[in-house]
């Protein structure tokens, strides 16, 4: 199933994408969701982030190819940061240039795990029971903020401007990321193309390990990290993140 959230002339709803229309549901996407007999044309709706995350966890150095090229050691455990939930953006949403930062901003096409059931200290064999599905993500970063102050690495600020956690267009409950590829197109030109199987820590390993550090709740997101091809982008640039079996997340930056 391919779940979305939408704005229909000021009314927020959710449902399942079926071709060029959405079948509306009632209730809780992560709990009891009941199908209605209402169908809406996708062209009449405004896409929203497909869920409202309470936490957004992002991985650093989780792909072998990138680690090898950059001379990074293989991590002994997941290396992660947190992004503000307020940085969430949906498919086709315009991402504004930060007003307090004038440096370079980079795109990072990523697979995103969406938690569907509370996960607290789960083992990897049962991690799949806590995953609702997967979606495409763009983990934007204000590159020059990260280490601008030598005394304090500003990961949270650099990753949490409004719109810097784009994800969507749908949450797919059936895709197998182990067999999928991700491509990032910047201004229509392919800049990233990598296999999701190249991760040091698979999505289910990430769910398990992170759940031993903090409780993961329905709607929480885990951005699984990115690989080669990350570059700065200019204001006015269109970025598309494409994952086999999920679809294309499209946003305009600037």
Same domain, 30 and 144: no
Same domain, 157 and 237: yes
Pairing of strands 165-172, 88-89: parallel
**CATH number, domain with residue 233:** 3.90.850.10
- What pLDDT sits at residue 238? 98
With bands split at pLDDT 50, 70 and 90, how would you rate the model's confidence at 85? very high
C-beta of residue 223 within 8 angstroms of C-beta of residue 110? yes
- What pLDDT sits at residue 17? 97
> Which of 46, 63, 78 corresponds to the end of one domain?
46
| Mean pLDDT calculated for residue range 194-211 | 98
Same domain, 6 and 126: no
With bands split at pLDDT 50, 70 and 90, how would you rate the model's confidence at 22? very high
C-beta of residue 196 within 8 angstroms of C-beta of residue 182? yes
Same domain, 75 and 198: yes
pLDDT of 216-243, one tens digit each? 999 999 999 999 999 999 999 999 999 9
**CATH number, domain with residue 36:** 2.30.30
Question: Is residue 207 within a helix (H) or strand (E), and if so which, with residue range?
Answer: helix 203-211
The CA distances from residue 23 to 4, 31, 36, 48, in Å, are 10, 17, 7, 16
- What pLDDT sits at residue 215? 98
pLDDT of 109-131, one tens digit each? 999 999 999 999 999 999 999 99
pLDDT of 139-155, one tens digit each? 999 999 999 999 999 99
Same domain, 119 and 231: yes
- C-alpha 188/C-alpha 216 separation (Å) is 36
Same domain, 158 and 38: no
Q: Residue 133: give the domain boundaries.
A: 49-253
Same domain, 7 and 91: no
């Amino acid at each position: 199933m391919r779940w979305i959230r939408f704005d229909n002339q000021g009314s927020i709803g959710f449902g399942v994408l079926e071709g060029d229309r959405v079948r509306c549901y009632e209730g809780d996407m992560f709990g009891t969701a009941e199908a209605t007999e209402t169908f809406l044309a996708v062209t009449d709706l405004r896409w929203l982030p497909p869920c409202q995350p309470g936490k957004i966890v992002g991985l650093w150095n989780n792909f072998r190819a990138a680690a090898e090229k950059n001379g990074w050691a293989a991590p002994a455990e997941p290396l992660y940061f947190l992004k503000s939930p307020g940085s969430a953006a949906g498919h086709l949403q315009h991402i504004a240039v930060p007003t307090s930062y004038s440096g370079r901003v980079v795109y990072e096409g990523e697979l995103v795990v969406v938690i569907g059931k509370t996960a607290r200290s789960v083992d990897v064999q049962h991690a799949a029971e806590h995953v609702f599905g997967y979606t495409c993500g763009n983990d934007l970063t204000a590159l020059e903020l990260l280490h601008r102050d030598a005394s304090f690495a500003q990961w949270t600020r650099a990753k949490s401007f409004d719109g810097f956690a784009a994800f969507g267009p749908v949450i797919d409950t059936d895709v197998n990321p182990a067999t999928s590829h991700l491509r990032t197109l910047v201004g229509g030109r392919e800049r990233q193309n990598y296999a999701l199987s190249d991760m040091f820590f698979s999505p289910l390993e990430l769910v398990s390990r992170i759940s031993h550090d903090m409780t993961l709740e329905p709607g929480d997101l885990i951005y699984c990290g990115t690989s080669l091809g990350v570059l700065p982008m200019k204001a006015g640039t269109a970025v598309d993140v494409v994952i086999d079996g999920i679809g294309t997340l499209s946003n305009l930056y600037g």
